[in-house]
Structure 1
Amino acid sequence: MHSPTAPRFQWRALTSVLMTLGFALLALSGAMLFLAPPGRVANWTNWTLLGLRKGDWGALHIWFGALFLAMTAVHVYFNRGPLLSYLKNRATRTLGYRAEWAVAAALCAAVFAGIRAGVPPFSSLLAWNEAFKESWDRPAERAPIPHAELLTLAALAQKAGVDPAAANARLTAKGVAGFAPETVVRDLAARANLSAQQVYDIIMTAPSAAGEPRAGQAGGGLGWKTLAQFCADEGLDLAAARARLGAQGLRFEDTQTLRELAVANRQKPYELVELLRTK
């Protein structure tokens, strides 16, 4: 009796399976990136989908794209005979014109030209994708500047109109400690298992009654000064400041802090500070 021989390892089968899996994961990661918010939103809010961040989906897309391309090259090598036969004339069996290749080339050229020209339906799909991505951006959750997570903690506090010492105290009170003012917000957020937006929200929280100074006192930050106090400290004319805010359609009261004024008008405190300081 002949003992059954173990089946030989088939490289063609491996190539086909890897191509299929690579294509499936390439399509999945591509769909996730198609739906993902812009980087300035995703990185600020620590956006995730199916448990993965946008950067994770991007890494998967690149690597499975590379795997798919490599396996496609191997697949073409294994099937070079049939592929070359598609270039041959059916009657003469020599290399020549084939309508299939002409149609394929024409379709690719049409897609390329349509994208470059920005005409429907190519422009429509891209416009819808851009609109969908922008729908993730909510003014109330917007970073003080694009990619603010790349700022140091001290720079972010300065942008927010908060004294770095006050920002440090607020973070420490929330259990976020053991960092330097030069720490990048993204790194700090990752170590604290928070999003950069949550770090910013902690910095912007109202000071406690018995803790750090309140509006207008040293260390409280510009956001906690009233409009009148800010103008007095900056040497600005209060009437001119009122007129400047009114010209922008902003609602305000002299007794409001800049923080309260910003929240009421869906602005950031630093935006109001820059507006008021504009000559």
Structure 2
Amino acid sequence: MNMRKITSMTMVWSLIVLVFNSIVLYVVPEGRIANWADWRFWGLDKHDWSAQHTTVGFLFIFAAMLHIYYNWKPILNYMKDKAKKFKVFTAASSIGLGLTVIFVVGTYLDVPPMSTIVEFSEQIKEGAAQKYGDPPYGQAQSSSLKGFTSRMGLDLKRSMELLRDAGIEVTDDKEMVQDIAERSGNTPQQIYDIIKPAGISPAAPGADTHSEDGADKAMNPPKSGMGKKTITQLCEEIGQDCDMIIAGLKQRGMTIDPEQKLKDLAAENGTGPMQIYEAMVEIVNENKGQ
């Protein structure tokens, strides 16, 4: 086998995939909206496209390094002047470097045409927000129906009745909104639209509805990146006894490693990060009077 040819063709094919991935990621909605709307393209969600972009990018880099190795002499020839003397900044090299610097600095300074490219992507993403709807709070789709209705000030019983009337049977109020949406062929936004009439209480969105069953404001979930935090970090952020919470989670049948990321713990326990957080809220409330 000719490694030069294999290397060159690997670069070509991986570049084609990278270009296509880049176009998809250029127009994909923001993460919170993509998750809320269950956005997919060719059956892949935003995380899938991002992961693919990363792995294929590594393949391209590896192939590019091999390409440089196999073509080192021709590259050195590009860096020689007419007198055949080695010169880093030949005309071709200087133009290539100049174009690269212009795009890097131009993007940083937010000047056209670089700023136009970025702004156009933002306009597409803003359009997606209007089309699919913005989640009422971060990781809303990962909340249980009970936690979601509590946080949004909706009556749980009435919400379940509205879903039943829409042909969506829910027997467990701890089922994630996203799971309810998936098995019924809807998006989380559509589920929310169905239960919106469920008697919005005075504690409407934005009020003290961040937790279930009246948990206090100290238990408001982190604004972002909750799935990347450990149980220990979360306990420190909300100012609660970590040992008490871990014991309570274990009593609920969960396998808990306090130094493991919440999203990994959720995957191991067949649940979602928000549901684990809701369980933490319940544990704190249960121990308030003790």
TM-score between both structures, scaled by the size of structure 1: 0.64
What is the aligned counterpart of 1:163 among 147, 155, 173? 155
Contact 1:89 1:96 in 2 (8 A): no
Answer yes or no: is 1:44 the counterpart of 2:36: yes
Distance 2:126 2:89 in 1: 47
Which range is displaced more, 101-110 or 87-96? Answer: 87-96
Q: CA deviation at 1:190?
A: 4.0
Contact 1:41 1:142 in 2 (8 A): yes
Q: CA deviation at 1:50?
A: 3.4
Letter in 1 for 2:205: Y
Distance 1:67 1:96, change over 3 A: closer
Q: CA deviation at 1:91?
A: 1.0
What are the ranges of 5 or more consecutive residues in structure 1 without an aligned counterpart? 1-8, 207-220, 235-268, 275-279
Contact 2:144 2:177 in 1 (8 A): yes
Q: CA deviation at 1:187?
A: 4.4
Any idea what the Cα deviations from partners look like across 1:104-145, whole Å, max 9, x if unmatched? 112211111111111111112211211121011228833222
Answer yes or no: is 1:99 the counterpart of 2:91: yes
What is the aligned counterpart of 1:61 among 41, 53, 62? 53
Structure-2 residue corresponding to 1:129: 121
Q: CA deviation at 1:80?
A: 1.3
Give the percent of matched residue pairs that are identical in Structure 1 and Structure 2: 27
Answer yes or no: is 1:270 the counterpart of 2:262: no
Distance 1:272 1:141 in 2: 20
Letter in 1 for 2:199: L
What is the aligned counterpart of 1:108 among 84, 100, 123? 100
Secondary structure of the residue that 1:50 maps to in structure 2?
A: coil
Distance 1:96 1:60 in 2: 35
Pairwise CA RMSD:
2.9
Structure-1 residue corresponding to 2:75: 83
What are the ranges of 5 or more consecutive residues in structure 2 without an aligned counterpart? 210-290
Distance 1:96 1:148, change over 3 A: closer
Letter in 2 for 1:164: L
Any idea what the Cα deviations from partners look like across 1:24-48, whole Å, max 9, x if unmatched? 1111111011111222222111122
Distance 1:127 1:94 in 2: 42
Structure-1 residue corresponding to 2:21: 29
Contact 1:89 1:97 in 2 (8 A): no
Contact 2:141 2:188 in 1 (8 A): yes
